[in-house]
Structure 1
């Protein structure tokens, strides 16, 4: 009698004799699909000249028949990204049709190496959910990736905390909001710069002049900072705490606990739209 091992998804059982295939996570490393081979979620295979990505773990089901387990995958830059990022350039452009040319897709992709756990942790569903959550918050902060710097210039002198031992060497009004998550305050520029190996305390203008630096500061905040909450945006999504906790980490002191329900709803609606575009679900706990 053939022994079976539980796979844990929808009652799928794996033959004990079936050896798992090495996970191909890009078109460059994809192999031809083979029946009876165990494919973990995220694996990419070739089948009759087309590419498919495993949406769920499966024991070698036919990609053209078992569409719950497999999705078509494009390797030409139109529907997929050979670099492995879960958001293609075409999807990025669809999310931000009116974006400022400063916010390049290539700048975002270049910044990903700073935080390799971003949109690569957990199942494919969770990876896509994190990308959707990050980009939805980014969209809200920048008006759809239109604004590079904070529009309320009256706020500029107020982002200098002189109690910090390093002060504000670039000038009292130099630490206003910039970039995809509108990095602001001298202490945030100092912390982000230290983490990324860039002197942002002395040269905060890099965030508005270099697309990759701007994206890296946004990823720094998303992956490491809890803000008014208890966890980072990254932790909120990969742990299942929910999108609402990512809002709390970014602007919870102003928007959460009934502070500004309209702003929260705007973020949630964008997140739901982006999740649908990326072929994932938004999960629970959407509000804060």
Structure 2
């Protein structure tokens, strides 16, 4: 059984795994933004929620910086560094700060709480989280070693990320690695943990792993490939970990790719059950519904197209 690694204080504060845990420098460093309507995000990822839109250019204080999604702006070097702005409680990409390089000079890297659980997920764990949804315990147990490896490879290593990932898979496949979507006779119909669907997913996933999924789609529900494909979708086809960090299960569901409806609530309930098991409580701020931009079926969108849905018109970063 997983140890409950989040403290009660952390849970009550609603802080995620990426939250700052060390004291910030006594003196922040001043910079100036170079954009109007700059998105300040909850974490250093383009898929992270926008906590504020900062009109500008404006003077800002930066207490630390962390690596995240790469941003490229014309005339500037590409940068994966994001500045933490304590006065605005969020992160801005360094691409829109007045510095010539890709990283801020004189600013330390942020110290974050990795919050790693102390053990892999067991059959007893998922049964406690999801009850009767675990319909075939023997089959689920057979797949758990490969699934735990995929979770390690995908940095699904905090209670929030594990809860979101497992809640998603238990609704997609009952955590059965070799399941085929019932009644789906399409060549590229749903298969495996993540129910990989469509040639637009089989093709890129196959190329990523160097296997011919288009020519042999049954590989998607093999013990060898089902879990890695779920990891690929979670981190490559989409960037879902930051959504889990933000407790935004509505956006997680949109990223999986089906229209909004009653299923969103059921999956969010499973997410809460898993969080309760893993941490002893459900933090405030869980988001079960989707914003209007994510209400439709997003399954055929590329990652860039999906990420663009959350970008407010006229904003950058």
* C-alpha distance in structure 2 between counterparts of 1:181 and 1:117, whole Å: 14
Please say if residues 236 and 243 of structure 1, whose CA atoms lie closer than 8 Å, have aligned partners that are also in contact. Answer: yes
Residues 13 and 247 of structure 1: CA distance in aligned 2, closer, same or farther (over 3 Å): closer
Structure 2 segments unaligned to the other structure (5+ residues): 1-9, 14-20, 24-112, 291-317
The equivalent of 2:271 in structure 1 is 271
Residues 285 and 112 of structure 1: CA distance in aligned 2, closer, same or farther (over 3 Å): closer
Taking CA–CA contacts closer than 8 Å with sequence separation of 6 or more, which of the two structures ends up with the larger relative contact order? Answer: 2
In the alignment, which of 124, 129, 132 is matched to residue 163 of structure 2?
Answer: 132
Structure 1 position 191, deviation (Å): 0.7
Q: CA deviation digits over 1:21-62, x for unaligned, max 9? A: xxxxxxxxxxxxxxxxxxx7648xxxxxxxxx8xxxxxxxxx
* C-alpha distance in structure 1 between counterparts of 2:249 and 2:145, whole Å: 26
In the alignment, which of 217, 224, 227 is matched to residue 229 of structure 2?
Answer: 217
The equivalent of 2:208 in structure 1 is 195
Please say if residues 160 and 247 of structure 2, whose CA atoms lie closer than 8 Å, have aligned partners that are also in contact. Answer: no
Are 2:136 and 1:92 equivalent residues in the alignment?
A: no
* C-alpha distance in structure 2 between counterparts of 1:134 and 1:102, whole Å: 18
Structure 1 position 206, deviation (Å): 1.2
Please say if residues 150 and 182 of structure 1, whose CA atoms lie closer than 8 Å, have aligned partners that are also in contact. Answer: yes
Q: How many residues align?
A: 177
Residues 144 and 196 of structure 1: CA distance in aligned 2, closer, same or farther (over 3 Å): closer
SS at 1:248's partner residue?
A: helix
Give the alignment of 1:253-272 within 5 angstroms.
254-255=259-260, 260=261, 262-272=262-272
Are 2:276 and 1:237 equivalent residues in the alignment?
A: no
* C-alpha distance in structure 1 between counterparts of 2:214 and 2:176, whole Å: 24
RMSD value, Cα: 3.1
Structure 1 segments unaligned to the other structure (5+ residues): 1-8, 15-39, 44-52, 54-79, 121-126, 158-173, 227-231
Find runs of 4+ consecutive structure 1 residues off by over 6 angstroms.
none
The equivalent of 1:287 in structure 2 is 289
* C-alpha distance in structure 2 between counterparts of 1:213 and 1:13, whole Å: 39
Residues 109 and 13 of structure 1: CA distance in aligned 2, closer, same or farther (over 3 Å): closer
Structure 1 position 225, deviation (Å): 2.4
* C-alpha distance in structure 2 between counterparts of 1:117 and 1:108, whole Å: 10
Are 2:131 and 1:118 equivalent residues in the alignment?
A: no
Are 2:256 and 1:250 equivalent residues in the alignment?
A: yes
Scaled by the length of structure 2, the TM-score of the pair is: 0.48
Give the alignment of 1:151-190 within 5 angstroms.
151-153=182-184, 156-157=185-186, 174-190=187-203
Larger radius of gyration: 1
The equivalent of 1:106 in structure 2 is 145
Please say if residues 163 and 274 of structure 2, whose CA atoms lie closer than 8 Å, have aligned partners that are also in contact. Answer: yes
Scaled by the length of structure 1, the TM-score of the pair is: 0.53
Residues 244 and 214 of structure 1: CA distance in aligned 2, closer, same or farther (over 3 Å): same
Q: Which has the higher strand share?
A: 2
The equivalent of 2:181 in structure 1 is 150
Please say if residues 179 and 193 of structure 2, whose CA atoms lie closer than 8 Å, have aligned partners that are also in contact. Answer: yes
* C-alpha distance in structure 2 between counterparts of 1:13 and 1:182, whole Å: 40
Please say if residues 111 and 215 of structure 1, whose CA atoms lie closer than 8 Å, have aligned partners that are also in contact. Answer: yes
Q: CA deviation digits over 1:73-116, x for unaligned, max 9? A: xxxxxxx52xxx4x344313434642364442112123345xx3
